[in-house]
Amino acid sequence: MNGTNVSNTILERLAGELPELTPEARKAAIYMLENPRDVGVSTVREIAEAANVKPNTVVRMARQVGFEGYEDFRAPFRDAIRQGAADFPSRARWLQDIRKTGHLGALYADMVQDVISNVEETFADITTQALKDAAEAIWAARNVFTLGVGVNNASARNFTYLASTGMKQFHAIPRPGSTPVDDLAWADKRDVLIAITCKPYRSEVVEAVNIAREQGMVIIAISDSPASPIIRVADHGFTVCADTPQFFPSSVSTIALLETLLSFVIAVASDEIVTRVEKFHDRRHQLGLYYEEPT
């Protein structure tokens, strides 16, 4: 989740209430879900301005999810700051300093820090039971479709490639010359869709997830916000941190989560998976696909 590891119950409650909120209150809620770090240090007016709503909208939103007002809502986030559970780097000032000094050491350090913190924050909010449940759904499926476009396409295809070394029913979509919707045309409740998209959300992924839901497919969604349109309709939703000082979202947490999920699939699979993997690699050695030093 993009922010502190505290107040998960509050954030989950807020995400669950999204469909019931007015459009303006929903804007405020989505901003808070995506920027929980800001809640503890921002006044109601500052949050309202950032979310492009009126201050009384923020207050009404807090009351609708069970609090007396904004200050009551904000208290757990302020506690987290006092306990050191959140940091607040100034990206704009830091980037300006780099431009003025011409040194890239700070950029290197910040990129490494974000990689580490993204992985830590991602897995802090994911339980082993959640991974096990998703893994069991994957192993039990007739077909597993992994959908990622743009920057997430490579992650989806890498996951599918690795899974295919021991399982036969994995398909990376969209296939060349096709669309995700076409690739899912004959899928049903016996199949699983793993969908990946982060802000700005790709419309073809959102559309494919909605169609998959109509067809009864089991949906495993990976996105960067609990307010994401694919997380909200998923059977198994995983929120990853994708923070970076650069213009592109980080893929590190997504890749780490997919690799972990695959390890859980192997763990819950039947014993035949070991034989399949051995056979796959033996065949590759026989075909000379692996380099060996001359004797």
Q: In the predicted model, what is the mean pLDDT of residues 9-16?
A: 79
Strands 170-173 and 218-223 come out as: unpaired
Domain limits, the chain: 8-82, 128-285
From residue 256, give the alpha-carbon distance in Å to each of 102, 144, 250, 253: 33, 19, 11, 5
Among candidates 47, 49, 56, 50, which has minimal Cα distance to 22?
A: 56
Q: Pick 8-82's CATH classification: 3.30.460.10, 1.10.10.10, 1.20.1530.20, 1.10.1750.10.
A: 1.10.10.10
Note the helical H segments in the chain.
Answer: 8-17, 23-34, 36-39, 44-51, 55-64, 70-82, 91-101, 105-124, 128-140, 151-163, 180-183, 203-214, 252-268, 272-286
Strands 144-148 and 170-173: parallel
Q: In this predicted model, which residue has the larger pLDDT, 140 or 75?
A: 140
Q: Of 86-95, 116-125, 191-200, where does mean pLDDT reach its minimum?
A: 86-95
What integer pLDDT is reported at residue 184 of this predicted model? 96
- CATH numeric code, 128-285: 3.40.50.10490
Residue 215 one-letter amino acid? Q
Q: Which has more pLDDT, 177 or 99?
A: 177
Asked if residues 189 and 216 have their Cβ atoms less than 8 Å apart, the reply is yes
Question: Quick one: pLDDT at residue 278?
Answer: 72
Which pLDDT belongs to residue 255?
96
pLDDT value of position 116: 84
Task: Spell out the residues 6+ positions from residue 226 whose beta carbon is closer than 8 angstroms to its own.
Answer: 1, 11, 12, 15, 33, 232, 237, 239
Instruction: Give the residue with greater pLDDT, 36 vs 122.
Output: 122
Nearest to 225 by CA among 11, 6, 7, 10: 11
Residues 6+ apart with CB under 8 A from 201: 223, 228, 229, 230
Six-digit token string for 153: 């396409």
* CB-count burial class (<10 Å; 0-12, 13-18, 19+) for 272: exposed
Q: Which structure tokens are listed for 202?
A: 């790709």
Share of the chain above pLDDT 70, in %: 80
Q: Within 10 Å of residue 111's Cβ, how many Cβ atoms? A: 15
Residue range 107-148, pLDDT digits in tens: 666 777 788 888 988 998 899 999 999 999 999 999 999 999
